[in-house]
Structures are given as C-alpha cells and as structure tokens.
Structure 1
Amino acid sequence: MTTQIGYTPPDAAAQGQGHESRPVRRRHVVYLPGYDPDSGKRYRALFAREFTRYAKRFDLGKKAITRAETRADGLVQTWTVETGHPGLETRTTYEVLLWDDLVRADFRRPLIASMALLTAGILHSLVTGKLFRLYGLNWKYGNVILYPFGMTVILGALAALLGTGVAHLLAGWLPGLAAGVIGALAGIGLVLGATPLLDRIFLRQLINDWVFNWQHSNGWRPDYEARLALFADHVAGICRAGEVDEVLIVGHSSGGLTAAEVAARVLEHDLPETPRLSLLTLGAGLPLVAINPRARRVRADVMRLVGSARLVWADYQAPQDWMNFPGFNPAHDLGETPAGPVRNPLIRSTKFRDIIVPDVYRRISFRPFRMHFQFLMANDLPGEYDFFALTLGPQALGDRVMAPAIVPLRPEAAPEPVPVHREI
C-alpha cells in the first residue's frame, strides 16, 4: 500500500487542475452522511455550531446562514450560506441527502440478531482474508472493527453465564426444561437491558455499521442501491439546471463511499460541460466495502472516478484519525487496473497538528470519535485543510487543493480556542 499521504495523479492536467479558474460565486454542496440514524439532526447542528465558531475566528467578510428546510419526502435538507468580501461573495446552497431512515430500520432489528449477523460477518471476513487486508491498510481501524465484535463476545459470555447460573439455581424447584427456559430469558434480558448503555457508547451503531458494510459489499442491500439511484438523479438534475458554478459532492467517514457511489452514478447521466463537478471525501472508509472482490459494482464505480476527466476528486486523510485509511490510494491499492489515464483522486493530508492548537490536540488525541469529526469542524489555526474554505470559499475544489488561498484569522480573534469539551 502507498504510505505517503500526498498524491497528484499524472494525468490530472487533463482536467486543468493546477490552472486557476474563475472564482466560484454560486455553489451547490451535496453532503452525504455516513451510517448514522440521526443524520437529519446531527449534521445541520454540527455545521451551524462550527460555522459560527469559524466565523468568529476567521476573516470571512460577509457571513450569513439561513434556517434549514426539509423536503416533504424527508430525503433532502437544505440551507444557504453567504460568505466573502464585497464584490467577491460566494453563495452556497448546502444540502444533506438523507438515508437515515434505512439506518433506523436496521436499528429496529433485535440487538441479538445484529450481534449474530456481526459474528457471521467477522467470520466470513476472516475466512476470505478481508479482515487481514483491512488490518494491513490501517491496524488502528482493524481494532475499531474488532471492538464491537469483542464486546459482542463479552456480552454474549455474560448472558450465557447469567442464564446458566439462573438455570442452576432454579433446577432444585422447577423441572429442568422450565429452569432452562427461565435461564435463557434471563440471559436475553441482560442483553436487552444493556441496550441503552450500548447506544450511549455507540456500540450498537458500530455493530450495525459493520453489518451494513458487510451486506453492501456482498450486494445484499437493494434498499440502499435504490436510494443511491435517487440521489444520483437529484444531483444530475442540479447539474443540468446550470444555475451554479460548481456542484460539490461531499462525504465524510463511511459517507465518503456513499458520496463516491453517487458521483459515479451521476457520471452515467448525460451531463452538460458546466457546471464544474467535484467530489470531496474526508476521512473516508472506502476499503471497508471496496476491498471485497465481490463488491464488483463498488469497485467499478471507484475506478470510473479514477479515470474520469469530467470530475475532480479530492481525498483528505489524517494519520491521527483511527477511522480512516491514511495512505490508501484507490488508483494503486484496490487491486484493479485503471482502463485509461489516472486522473483522480488528488490525495492530501489534513495536517491536523498544524490547524489545532497543541493543548487541544493533546487532549483529543485519545478520543477517536472526536478526532474523526475534526474533518467537519472549524480550525483553530489557518491551514491548507479548511472544511469551510473548501465548501464555502471562492476557489473551486481542484484550485483549492492545488493552490490553496489560506483564510486568515480575524485581527481581533482571540488566541484561545473554544474549550475541548464540545461534543459531537
């Protein structure tokens, strides 16, 4: 696997990357969440909070954000943002495309059933070697994958121990079958009673997330595939309307794969030459699904993006983040041979050490979820990686990656960052 974080495709010049284009005055951002049952609430709240913090610290000129509106079908949440100095303003329509209803349907599955599916998925991944390949890409992520399985084994052992103990205690007063049934119910009750605690530590989400990725990699999620098609039609319609300078598809974490799949399907449509079409993936978990040779559609989607001259794809990675794959380059590391020139992705490091003040950096280094969400949060200090400059600023994505115009701090900005206790 490629270990260096930083890659510019040899044929990127075919897209005009590195040659500054006209400023973006109108942008349409399409954000694809990852596997999250609360996407409809979480990402608007996170965006508004962090944008407010960002605007207090950085010299944006104009800064305005509207209330969010959700489409009647519940699939699209929209707001607008305006930034920039007089005569150089950028107006951004920001949309979150929602599929959390599919995630909540998974959460309605009994926890015991999810634990059984997780066990089957892990065993399958061991037999096929997928888990070893993921460990080879990032051993930290491998540990994150095994964490819910380890907790499942522990919880299952505790439930079995409790059930056996209850059955033995009742064996002297009840027939053996009745004592066994009550013991089994006691073990099941322990699992069900632990569910609220598991939700608080995101364990059930991690269990269901792994099950979803396993199912998707084997082509067993037609509900998700249908939603991807709807999203692609929606984005293609935005492109055909031609009312903006750039359409930017964004995905974070496992949403990075969702964003890539949507972008690949958009390319299947008959698109006009303008507006510019860009894809931004942040801390993406692409290999979780794509590493499986049976994920043929996913792998074909990724390779279509690798060779596309119609789209600019930038992928930001962070070695400090346990839940991404720093150094992973789909053009080289997926085991597929590009059919033509390699034009994507532009790979860059976020350099979190440079944009987070040292005291805060030390305190969040051992908080994996907090570090993982730094991709979507305001910088403490100016830097090349800047989520809000990428999504709201006047530079198109390719221009920003190749020659970033660093957004300076406001002259009156306080040197102290917001305290680290902010939660996701």
Structure 2
Amino acid sequence: MSDSKTGQVKTRRVFYIPGYDPIHPRRYRELYRKEGAAQAAISGYEVALKPKLGKGNYGWNVDAMIEGEQVSAQVEVLVWSDIVRTSMSNSIPATYWQLLRTAWVYIGSGTLWRLMRLRKGPVIAALYPVGMLIVQALLALAVGLITYRVLGLLSDNGAAQLAFAVLGVGLGIALLRWFKKKDGKFFAYYLMHDYAYSAATKGANSPELEARIAAFGDTIAAALATDVDEVLVVGHSSGAHLGVSVLADLIRAGRVPTGGPALGFLSLGQVVPMVSFLSHAERLRADLRYLSTRDELAWVDVTAPGDGCAFALCDPVSVSGVAPEGKRWPLVFSAAFTQTLSPARWKELRWRFFRLHFQYLCAFDRPRDYDYFQITAGPQTLAARYDGRPASKSRIDHAVSKYTSVAA
C-alpha cells in the first residue's frame, strides 16, 4: 500500500493539533509559509505552499525538494478553537472566580508543589496570570479609593461624597475593562482561561472535547486508509495531550491498519503534567500508559529548556507515574534553543516567552537534527529520521505526580 516500511516518504498527510488557541487556523498556514521559506533559505532546500483543494479541515499543500527528493504533503489543522472561545467568554467577575477555583484546585490538592519539582518555568507561567490579575484588581481598587479620598476632601456634603464614591468605583471598573481590552499585551485573561479550562474538571475531558477527540480520530483513520507513505500527527502545547488520547483511541479500536502508512506522533512544547497531575485525569493517564508501549507508531517529544511555557525534557509518561513495563515511547530530546539559535537571534527572542513557545514551528538559524519542515515535508518518516537517536540525558523520567490512577 505504501513505502512506509523503508522509511522513505514521497507523500504524507500531516494533522496539526493546536494548543489552547482561539485564533483562526490561517495563522498556522502563514506561520508555516513564512518560517518554512526562512528555513529553506538557511538549510538549502525548497518548500512551496499551495491552497488545499476540496472540503474538510482547513489546510494547505506543500511541495518540497529536500535531500534531493521531491515530497508532497497535505497539512490540515484539527480545530478546537470554537471550544476554546466558548470557554473564554467570561466576564471580569467570572474570570476572578475562575482564578479562585483554579488556585484552589492546584494548591489545595498539592499538585502545584509537585509541578514545581519538574520545571520552574511553566509553574511561573501558571502563576503569572494569578499575580497579574491580582495586581490589576489592586490598581483598580487604588484608583477608586484615591479618587474618593482626594475629591472627598473638597466637600463635606454627603450627596457630593456619595457621587465621588460612585465616580471612584466607575474609574476602578473602567481600569479593569481597559486591562481586559489590552490582554493581547498582558495575556493575563488568556492564560487564566487556559489553566482554568482543565482545572474546572480536575483533568477530565468535557463532553464537547470528547466529541472533538472522536472526530479527530475519524479524520486520521480515514487518512490511514489512503495510499500515502506517512500519516504524521503533530500536537503542540495543550494539543499534545489531545493527540495522545486521539491516537490511543485509534490503536485500541484497531483503526491503524497493518501494512498501511507509517504513523508518527510529534509532541512539541508539551504541558501534559498540568493536566495529567490532576485528580480526575484518569483518562489521560491511561492513554499515556497505553500509547507508550505501542509499536503501531513512533512518538517523539521535543521541548527546550529555553521555552518557559513547556515542561522541558519531562517524559510525560514517566513523570505522570504511569510508565509500564516495556515502555518504548516517547523519545524525549531538546530543541536546544541556545545552540540552534545564533546568539543574536537568541538575544532577540529570549524574553519573548509566548513567541518562544512557538519556536518549534519556526526556523532555526543554526539548525541541528530538529527541523520542523524536514519532519513535515521531508523524505523520511519520523521513525526513520530519529532511528537510533538517544534521548537527552538531562530528561526527567521518574514518577512525580501524586495522582496515578488510570481509567479502566
């Protein structure tokens, strides 16, 4: 049916699962177009994009000449941004209520302290929206009090002082609304909604998300029944743990055909412990445990210590406390931003934390063995490309989670 057993690829289907992102998927097409052209110029190959024809998921086609081989790939984005947008449509008071509930879930259960034993960066990123929202509330309170006190000195009239109090409250509310309007710069509301989404169910999937996982599985199963050489699933950030569940379901159901396309799973900048360490994440922990032993796929997990929003070099199966006998996956290694980006480029990006979380999808001006565009449009399967590649020695691969129960 395909040439997948040789590790050579002429045709590929790529399914990209975004993280918690409300933005239209065209953002990912433009990122691929721009960064693919930059990487091609640096590395000496050719990458060209064309519109995807037909109905179905949003995507694009890629024609590449890499390592002297012509490869065609169809990239599709598996969208759950509508679910994300619905979960983000909260008022200012509702967001502060989310803050209290989320803090209670992570702190009250002891999960936060377990996460801090892994990497400080993503824990700081999780605490950032809490701190920023508290600061915004305190500033709004200060504006209101100062307005009332200063103007109140001008009059002893009770009615006037009441009016000044109302004005102070109004200015405080106006400041909170201004902060919310400018959240594209502060990311406090966005990140709060992100962490609150999983905390609301203590790591369980909502019915809407379960339905979307099933739909993703149907799409990938249909691709596995076609005559392509590789089907590659890419899960970025929160999309990584969705990919785990999608692929575990497919394999359990016998929907990965023997002799069909090679199946690869690339998880990038994963934040799996933020969910798998929660008490009700039995479904995800079971999927991690199951997928880690399967020979139907190759699973490569790429992170980087320079990405402060990811659990860098943390084996998501092992740290979740569910590593079984015979564990094979994932292969965990670093994209090593400080080595694969020139000093000048690293200096430019170092403090742009949100941008660095997307660096896995971008060009490197000192590339080593991680190249997103060669993986998605090059002539080797994911398994062949990293066959024999050792895992990073500095990875964390021992159990840390307090909760290790799995779904039956």
SS of the residue aligned with 1:91?
strand
What is the aligned partner in structure 2 of residue 411 from structure 1? none
Pick from 284, 290, 306: which aligns with 2:276? 290
CA contact (8 A) 1:216 1:289 kept: no
Counterparts of 2:160 and 2:104 in 1: how far apart (Å)?
37
Indicate the larger mover: 285-294 or 346-355: 346-355
Q: Shift of the alpha carbon at 1:192? A: 1.5
- RMSD of the TM alignment (CA)? 2.6
- The C-alpha deviation readout for 1:286-340, integer Å capped at 9, x for no partner, is 11101113211111111111121211110012111111112311332212242x4
Counterparts of 2:304 and 2:67 in 1: how far apart (Å)?
35
What is the aligned partner in structure 2 of residue 305 from structure 1? 291
Query: Does 1:124 pair with 2:105?
Result: yes
Q: Shift of the alpha carbon at 1:102? A: 1.4
Q: Where does the alignment leave 5 or more consecutive residues of structure 2 unmatched?
A: 390-408
* Distance verdict in 2 for CA 1:196–1:69, change over 3 Å: farther
CA contact (8 A) 2:203 2:276 kept: no
Query: Does 1:326 pair with 2:326?
Result: no
What is the aligned partner in structure 1 of residue 138 from structure 2? 157
Aligned residues: 380
Q: Shift of the alpha carbon at 1:402? A: 2.4
SS of the residue aligned with 1:204?
helix
Q: Shift of the alpha carbon at 1:193? A: 2.4
Counterparts of 2:50 and 2:178 in 1: how far apart (Å)?
42
- The C-alpha deviation readout for 1:42-62, integer Å capped at 9, x for no partner, is 2111111111212222222x5
Counterparts of 2:228 and 2:308 in 1: how far apart (Å)?
36
Q: Shift of the alpha carbon at 1:263? A: 1.8
Query: Does 1:259 pair with 2:243?
Result: yes
SS of the residue aligned with 1:189?
helix
What is the aligned partner in structure 1 of residue 82 from structure 2? 101
Counterparts of 1:127 and 1:172 in 2: how far apart (Å)?
48
SS of the residue aligned with 2:159?
coil
CA contact (8 A) 1:118 1:210 kept: no
Counterparts of 1:172 and 1:139 in 2: how far apart (Å)?
54
Pick from 267, 290, 298: which aligns with 1:281? 267
Match of 1:54, as an amino acid? Q
CA contact (8 A) 1:70 1:77 kept: no
- The C-alpha deviation readout for 1:394-422, integer Å capped at 9, x for no partner, is 11111112258xxxxxxxxxxxxxxxxxx
Q: Shift of the alpha carbon at 1:372? A: 1.9
Query: Does 1:235 pair with 2:220?
Result: yes
Indicate the larger mover: 21-30 or 153-162: 153-162
Alignment of 1:204-223 (within 5 A): 204-219=189-204, 221-223=206-208
What is the aligned partner in structure 1 of residue 37 from structure 2? 52
CA contact (8 A) 1:82 1:91 kept: yes
SS of the residue aligned with 2:63?
strand
Query: Does 1:390 pair with 2:339?
Result: no
Query: Does 1:89 pair with 2:73?
Result: no
Pick from 47, 68, 90: which aligns with 1:63? 47
Counterparts of 2:68 and 2:41 in 1: how far apart (Å)?
21
Q: Shift of the alpha carbon at 1:20? A: 8.1
SS of the residue aligned with 1:174?
helix
* Distance verdict in 2 for CA 1:353–1:70, change over 3 Å: farther
What is the aligned partner in structure 1 of residue 404 from structure 2? none
SS of the residue aligned with 1:324?
coil
SS of the residue aligned with 1:315?
strand
Match of 2:101, as an amino acid? A
Match of 2:265, as an amino acid? L
Q: Shift of the alpha carbon at 1:110? A: 1.2
Match of 1:238, as an amino acid? A
Match of 1:247, as an amino acid? V
Match of 2:278, as an amino acid? N
Identity over aligned pairs, percent? 32
CA contact (8 A) 2:273 2:319 kept: no
What is the aligned partner in structure 1 of residue 210 from structure 2? 225
Query: Does 1:268 pair with 2:252?
Result: yes
* Distance verdict in 2 for CA 1:161–1:390, change over 3 Å: same
What is the aligned partner in structure 2 of residue 343 from structure 1? 328
What is the aligned partner in structure 2 of residue 363 from structure 1? 348
* Distance verdict in 2 for CA 1:394–1:216, change over 3 Å: farther
Q: Shift of the alpha carbon at 1:159? A: 2.5
SS of the residue aligned with 2:22?
coil
Match of 1:320, as an amino acid? G
* Distance verdict in 2 for CA 1:221–1:85, change over 3 Å: closer
Counterparts of 2:194 and 2:366 in 1: how far apart (Å)?
33
* Distance verdict in 2 for CA 1:232–1:85, change over 3 Å: closer
Match of 1:244, as an amino acid? V
What is the aligned partner in structure 1 of residue 400 from structure 2? none
What is the aligned partner in structure 1 of residue 96 from structure 2? 115
Q: Where does the alignment leave 5 or more consecutive residues of structure 1 unmatched?
A: 1-18, 405-424
Q: Shift of the alpha carbon at 1:237? A: 1.6
Counterparts of 1:149 and 1:85 in 2: how far apart (Å)?
46
Counterparts of 1:390 and 1:234 in 2: how far apart (Å)?
21
